[in-house]
Structures are given as C-alpha cells and as structure tokens.
Amino acid sequence: MPDTNPFVPLSIPVVYDRSHRFHEPGGEIWVGVRTPGTEVPERAERILEALRAAGARHLASEGAPEGVALRFHDPEMVDWLRDAWGQWQESGLTEDPGQDRVVPYLFPHPGLVGGLPVPVPAAVTARAGRWCFDTMTLIGPGTWHAARGAIDAAITAASVAALEGVAYACCRPPGHHATRDAYGGSCYLNNAAAAAGMLRDSLEGPVAILDVDAHHGNGAQSIFWSDPTIATGSVHVDPGAGWFPHFLGFASERGDGDGAGANLNLPQAPGTGDGPWLEAVAELCEFARSAGARGIVVALGVDAAGGDPESPLEVTTEGYRGAGELLGGLGLPTAIVQEGGYDLDTIGELVVAALEGVESGRVSSGL
Ligand code: SP5
Ligand code: ZN
C-alpha cells in the first residue's frame, strides 16, 4: 500500500535564538498587584517544539549591527534598556524595598508636564517611567540581552525573506507595542519594525507590516505614521470595547503627512471568530497590494485564538491557517515575526497552522 499521507516537512526556514530565555519578566504588575504574567520563556520553547515536529529547518540568527537593529528607537531609550537592570541593582532597590525587577512608578503624563521638555530624571525609580508606558513590562537581569536577540532574529528573517522568499522568526520578547521612545505591553524593541526596515532596503521599494496579533500594533503605527515606504495595517480587538492598548487602534487613525492613508486599523468586536476576522485579514492584504508593497512583514500574534488568556477573540486554528493562506497568497517576499500568543497548550499548533497556510498560499499564488 502506498502511503497516502506522506509527511511533508514545513519548508519555511525558522530563525531562533535561545537568548530569549534570559528574559524572565518575573510577572506583571496588574492594577497594582503582582500577577504571574503570561509572556514566559516556555512560549518560544513550545513553538519550537511544534515546528520541529513539523519538520521545519532551523537557521542561526545573525547579529545585526546596532545601527540597523536600533535605528527606529530613541538612543536614550536604548541606553536605558541596556543599563536599567544594572542601575536598579546598584541603587539597592533589590534590597530595599526588595523589588527584583525594574518597575516604573511615575510617568511624565502630558497633563503633568504640559508640553515642557521631558528631562531624564535623576532618580532611577523615575527613569523607568520616562520610557515605559505601563506597569506590566518589567526589566530583569537578562531582558536587554533577550530583546537584542529578538530583534536580531527578526532582521535575520527579513534578510532571508528578501533572498529566499519567506522566513519566520521565533522570537521573544515580542515587539509590536514598542514605539520609537516608549516600551510596554510586554515589548521592549520593535522587532517587526526593524525587520520591515531591512526588507524595504533589501527590496528597494515599499513594504507593509500586517499585524494579526489580537492587540493593536501601535508601535509600528507610531514609528511609520508619516512614512509612506512602510505601510502599517492591524486587525485587533476593538480598543473602544475596553481592550489593550485602550488609547490607540481606532479605525480613524490613518497616518499623516507623506504617510497619510498608509495606516489601516481594523478593530473587531470581542467574540469575533473566523469569518469576519478573515475578511479583515483579506482587507489587510488588499491594503498592502494597493500600497504597492514589494514585501510584507507579518506580525504574527496568535493570541486572537479562542481560549487565549489575553484576548476575547475567537479565532480557530483553521482560522490562523486561513490567514496564512491569504497572506502567502500575496506572493510577496514575507518575513513572519512572532508577537503574542499565551495559551501554552495551543501556541505551537497555532503557529504551525499559520505557517502551513502561508506556504500553501504561496504555492497557490504560483510561487
Ligand atoms: C505582545 C502582546 O500581545 N502584548 C499584549 C499585552 C496585553 N497586556 C494587557 C494586559 C491586560 C491585563 N491582563 C490581565 C492578566 C492578569 N495577569
Ligand atoms: Zn497581543
């Protein structure tokens, strides 16, 4: 009997760097209470395990020069991220009051500073709030090392995608909430933005970041707000229905100046499942096409799946496969960058389904 169901390995190359393990957020401060947190090292390990079982090949991450990796961030924020843990320790805060992570306590709210220049404060406790916009994104001993590793993996995936057509970066911490000069939402450096910069420069033409994480991709929206060469689109749970990042992600945000029209937000009602969500993904694809994108970066959060602890969307594994098919169907060089996804029992299968979808979409598109 011939085998009617031969094992076909996943052909999308996977970039993974184990330096992500150095980032142990140590929980999140949520409404003032330290909770366990969901952005844990086990996430990337579970994804990798599922990719291995699917037969994927693994590429080493290449270190990108600082000027490439950190180009979209304020050097002062970068300096802080690099040094924060050391400064925190030196200040004795780990002993008194006994806080083993860098946690902000005061923020330069626009209503506080009233448009005056925001100084870098002298106290390390206040410096944390200078660049962090929430209380949930803590810095520990290995955070910088891991964040740098994640952005390198994303850039490596973009380089491979420019040459070979497609690649996936299995990276953490995630990046899509990080703006030029602020971090939060479990994100420190914007991995997808750096990948898009690399892809645009390699392909010598406009690209698009298409974000299917359950939460709005506010980081890339902000970084490329006036930039027509990197279009940004995001499908996410409606911030107007009470969901993170609460203040951003509305359909009325379309970009400005030269970038007017080059941002698209498609907020979805809580409870939205495959049908309307996939229509929105198709709209993102059409948006990339009409922006003249020569390549795309997919910000692949799988937290829109039903059962994810951080979002109320109800997308299925087959929904993620369908999203992959639509995105792959564009037939463009594609770098896929891991964002959120917090259900450890399903994160692996969700990513594999999305990547299998991308692969079959690319085949249908004639590649
Ligand atoms: C990358 C990404 O998906 N970031 C999403 C961060 C959203 N975090 C919002 C947290 C809102 C409170 N969650 C309650 C969980 C209690 N531990
Ligand atoms: Zn998310």
Residue 2 pLDDT more than 70?
no
pLDDT for the residue numbered 230: 98
pLDDT for the residue numbered 69: 96
Q: What are the pLDDT digits (tens) for 41-66? A: 999 999 999 999 999 999 999 999 99
User: Which residue among 177, 215, 216, 236 is the active-site one?
Assistant: 177
Distance from C-alpha of 35 to C-alpha of 310, rounded to nearest angstrom? 13
Handedness of CA 80, 82, 87, 88 (dihedral sign): positive
339 lines ligand 1 (CB under 6 A): yes
CB 79 within 8 A of CB 127: no
Mean per-residue pLDDT for 34-40? 97
Q: Which ligand is nearest to the CA of 337?
A: 1
User: Which residue has the least CA distance to atom 1 on ligand 1?
Assistant: 340
Would you say the pTM of this structure is higher than 0.95?
yes
Q: What are the pLDDT digits (tens) for 299-351? A: 999 999 999 999 999 999 999 999 999 999 999 999 999 999 999 999 999 99
User: Which residue has the least CA distance to atom 8 on ligand 1?
Assistant: 185
15 CA distance to ligand 1 middle (Å): 25
pLDDT for the residue numbered 367: 83
pLDDT for the residue numbered 6: 80
Residue 3 pLDDT more than 70?
no
User: Which residue has the least CA distance to atom 7 on ligand 1?
Assistant: 185
Q: Which ligand is nearest to the CA of 177?
A: 1
86 CA distance to ligand 2 middle (Å): 29
Buried (b) or exposed (e) across 247-273, using 16+ Cβ within 10 A? ebbeeebebeeebeebbbbbbbeeebe
Residue 5 banded pLDDT, cuts 50, 70, 90: confident
The residue to mutate among 34, 136, 191, having the most atoms of ligand 1 within 8 angstroms of its beta carbon, is 136
Residue 1 banded pLDDT, cuts 50, 70, 90: low
Q: What are the pLDDT digits (tens) for 20-29? A: 999 999 999 9
pLDDT for the residue numbered 222: 98
301 lines ligand 1 (CB under 6 A): yes
Distinct helix (H) and strand (E) counts, the chain: 11, 10
User: Which residue has the least CA distance to atom 3 on ligand 1?
Assistant: 340
Q: Which residue has the tokens 């049908």?
A: 275
Element (H, E) at 35: strand 33-35
Residue 129 pLDDT more than 80?
yes
Mean predicted lDDT score pLDDT of the chain: 97
- The answer for 138, left when phi > 0, alpha when psi is -120 to 50, beta otherwise, is beta
Angle between the N-to-C axes of helices 143-164 and 75-90, in degrees from 0 to 180, rounded to the nearest 10: 150
Q: Which atom of ligand 1 is nearest to the CA of 342?
A: 3
134 lines ligand 1 (CB under 6 A): no
Q: What are the pLDDT digits (tens) for 161-179? A: 999 999 999 999 999 999 9
State the CB neighbour count (10 A cutoff) for residue 233.
29
Would you state the structure tokens that stand for residue 151, as one six-digit string?
């952005």
246 lines ligand 1 (CB under 6 A): no
Helix segments in the chain, DSSP class H: 42-53, 66-69, 75-90, 110-113, 124-131, 143-164, 191-203, 218-223, 274-290, 317-328, 347-364
Within 8 A by CB and 6+ apart from 216, the residues are 234, 236, 239, 245, 248, 249, 265, 267
Give the residue from 366, 296, 291 showing the smallest Cα distance to 327: 296
Mean per-residue pLDDT for 126-149? 97
State the CB neighbour count (10 A cutoff) for residue 317.
17
Q: What are the pLDDT digits (tens) for 295-308? A: 999 999 999 999 99
Q: What are the pLDDT digits (tens) for 260-270? A: 999 999 999 99
Question: Is residue 177 among the annotated active site residues?
Answer: yes
156 lines ligand 1 (CB under 6 A): no
Residue 7 pLDDT more than 70?
yes
Q: What are the pLDDT digits (tens) for 201-234? A: 999 999 999 999 999 999 999 999 999 999 999 9
310 lines ligand 1 (CB under 6 A): yes
Q: In this structure, what are the phi and psi dihedrals at residue 354, rounded to the nearest 5 degrees? A: -60, -45
CB 301 within 8 A of CB 186: no
The residue to mutate among 20, 23, 29, 30, having the most atoms of ligand 1 within 8 angstroms of its beta carbon, is 30
Q: Which ligand is nearest to the CA of 137?
A: 1
